[in-house]
Amino acid sequence: MLYESQGGQILMALTGESLITRRLSSFREPQFLKLVQMLRDADISFTNAECVFQEYENHPNFLAGGGSPRGTHMASDPRNIKELQWLGIDIVSCANNHATDFGEGGVLTNLKHLDAADLPHAGSGRTLAEARAPAYVDTPNGRVALIAASDWGPRSRGGSPWPAPLGALAGEQGGFVKGRPGCNLIRHRPVFTVDRAAFDALRRISKELRFEEEKASRRTAEALVNPDLDTDTVFHFMDARYVLGERFSMTTLPNQEDIDDNLKWIRDARRMADWVMVSFHVHGAGPSRDEPPEHSKIFARACIDAGADVFIGHGPHRDCGIELYKGKPILYSLGNFIQQADTVRWTPSDSLARYGLGAGNTPADFYDMRSSKKKQQPNARRWESAVAMVRFNDKRLQEIRLHPIELGLGLPRYQRGRPVLAESNGEAAQRVLNNIQRLSEPFGTKIAVENGVGVIQCA
């Protein structure tokens, strides 16, 4: 054996959301430094950089803020890239709902700062091909590729999309025009099953509101590119698909063109690297916030079929279940790793105005008002999570170890948001592991607990 990478061994440290706005290297708690060492000791450490690194060079995107009317325009000082690297992070995803908080200019500025800091990234780019192409990191145990994507479409129970897109789909370069900066998006749509009475009522509403006339005017042109037209059992109303059935339900379907193009790049990476990771930022409609939506499950399994070694989900700001599919891990969601969204330095005037605030108010006024409007106690699921240490041996998944972390539940905003390892016998560690155990059961995944760490033995 000439090269160490021929051994087929690697240790991956996988984390979820990093909404970073403050220095990390100033702190010295033992449980924090132990976590830092864990990330540094891994062959490859990953996080989702859910922010735009910039110095406010670009205009804030109206109603961006992650696609939420009350969301945060997640600007982060470019010096925080070095803080992630100090922590041990080797590669990041840039495909998420905050990627376009500062428009197309913000996408380009973010890329500029990441490149200047030499932190590999995937998921956004100057063109669609660049956004979907893999990023690579060389490690002693082989070359690692990352493909990163985010979903786009209705949230919650599948109703109308939010006032602004969750991200801007990058555009391909043509023979006459430039490409469009943006993200690698997997678009999805809801499919509602309804009973006969509701199905017939939808048809009547559409007819009486003259939507059917509008459909007819487009039908000839659409038939050439869109065979998805109305039938006796399928009806389209207000940009949603309804299927005739016996009971009411909802599911989601991904855009097949987006899936196919991502699978192309995964197959490309499979031929260019020892290891292939896929990151997917998920906000789309699903059965509940604890359960991955159908389009996420379809995409995850397709990625493994195409050659991915691991699928890393994030987005709902909470842990979800783990599936072992054909011997490869699918982590449907890792929760918050760094949550400093309420110490962003500046707040755009549009955001202030949504809460009746103006030029005389400050960012702290905005965060105070937003917290008071939520009228709820801090949610432990947003302030506790796990770091997944995924080990392969002889190219086969050997084990996954889940290390619970705490982010300062209940502390003031200027203290909370930074991860430390949870005490092995503490309530936080128990809550985190109990949740992941419960949510993994539907996938048949068994998780043992050893000294406050979740363990999935695979070989």
Residue 162: what pLDDT?
47
Look-up of token digits 């660049």:
130
Per-residue pLDDT averaged across 344-356, rounded? Answer: 89
Cα-to-chain-centroid distance, residue 143: 23
Residue 219: what pLDDT?
59
Contact 296, 284 (CB under 8 A): yes
Shared domain for 316 and 267, answered yes or no, is yes
Adjacent-strand bridge partners of 22: none
Shared domain for 279 and 148, answered yes or no, is yes
| Residue of higher predicted confidence among 231 and 82 | 82
CA gap 230, 308 in Å, rounded: 36
Q: The CATH number of the domain where 127 resides is what?
A: 3.60.21.10
- Please report whether residue 371 resides in a domain: no
| Residue of higher predicted confidence among 390 and 163 | 390
- Please report whether residue 111 resides in a domain: yes
Nearest to 332 by CA among 279, 390, 411, 371: 279
Among 206, 222, 244, the domain boundary falls at 244
Residue 159: what pLDDT?
67
In this structure, of 110-119, 159-168, 286-295, 417-426, the range with the lowest mean pLDDT score is: 159-168
Both tokens of 183, joined, read 């993200």
pLDDT at 166 over 80: no
Shared domain for 23 and 101, answered yes or no, is yes
| Residue of higher predicted confidence among 298 and 168 | 298
Residues shown for the chain: 459
pLDDT at 68 over 80: no
pLDDT at 176 over 90: no
CA gap 252, 263 in Å, rounded: 19
* Tens-place pLDDT, residues 306-337: 999 999 999 999 999 999 999 999 999 999 99
Nearest to 91 by CA among 49, 51, 151, 153: 49
In this structure, of 114-123, 126-135, 165-174, the range with the lowest mean pLDDT score is: 165-174
Q: Say how many CA atoms lie within 13 Å of 426 toward its Cβ.
A: 14
Residue 372: what pLDDT?
80
| Residue of higher predicted confidence among 224 and 369 | 369
CA gap 313, 230 in Å, rounded: 34
Contact 318, 326 (CB under 8 A): no
Per-residue H/E/C for 245-307 = CCCCEEEEEECHHHHHHHHHHHHHHHCCCCEEEEEEECCCCCCCCCCCCHHHHHHHHHHHHHC
- Please report whether residue 359 resides in a domain: no
Sign of CA dihedral 67, 47, 264, 290: negative
Of the pLDDT bands very low, low, confident and very high (cuts 50, 70, 90), residue 167 is low
Per-residue pLDDT averaged across 63-80, rounded? Answer: 81
- Please report whether residue 351 resides in a domain: no
To the nearest whole percent, how much of the chain has pLDDT over 70? Answer: 91
- Please report whether residue 114 resides in a domain: yes
Per-residue pLDDT averaged across 11-37, rounded? Answer: 97
- Please report whether residue 364 resides in a domain: no
Secondary structure class of 43 (helix, strand, coil): coil
Shared domain for 134 and 283, answered yes or no, is yes
Shared domain for 76 and 48, answered yes or no, is yes
Residue 287: what pLDDT?
84
Of the pLDDT bands very low, low, confident and very high (cuts 50, 70, 90), residue 164 is very low
* Structural domain range at position 205: 196-244
Sign of CA dihedral 240, 243, 244, 249: negative
Residue 422: what pLDDT?
97
Residue 225: what pLDDT?
46
Of the pLDDT bands very low, low, confident and very high (cuts 50, 70, 90), residue 239 is confident
| Residue of higher predicted confidence among 397 and 179 | 397
Shared domain for 22 and 165, answered yes or no, is yes
The mean predicted confidence, pLDDT, of the chain is: 91
Count of structural domains within the chain: 2
- Please report whether residue 396 resides in a domain: yes
Shared domain for 77 and 222, answered yes or no, is no
pLDDT at 377 over 60: no
- Please report whether residue 54 resides in a domain: yes
Shared domain for 216 and 291, answered yes or no, is no
Which pTM value belongs to this model?
0.94
Shared domain for 281 and 427, answered yes or no, is yes
Of the pLDDT bands very low, low, confident and very high (cuts 50, 70, 90), residue 424 is very high
Among 188, 219, 244, the domain boundary falls at 244
Contact 13, 42 (CB under 8 A): yes
In this structure, of 26-30, 63-67, 230-234, 405-409, the range with the lowest mean pLDDT score is: 63-67
Shared domain for 335 and 386, answered yes or no, is yes
Instruction: Determine the residue type at 411.
Output: L
| Residue of higher predicted confidence among 239 and 181 | 181
Among 211, 244, 277, the domain boundary falls at 244
Shared domain for 94 and 145, answered yes or no, is yes
CA gap 314, 320 in Å, rounded: 9
* Tens-place pLDDT, residues 187-234: 988 899 999 999 999 999 999 998 888 777 665 554 444 556 889 999
Shared domain for 85 and 11, answered yes or no, is yes
Residue 224: what pLDDT?
47
Contacts of 288 (CB under 8 A, 6+ apart): none
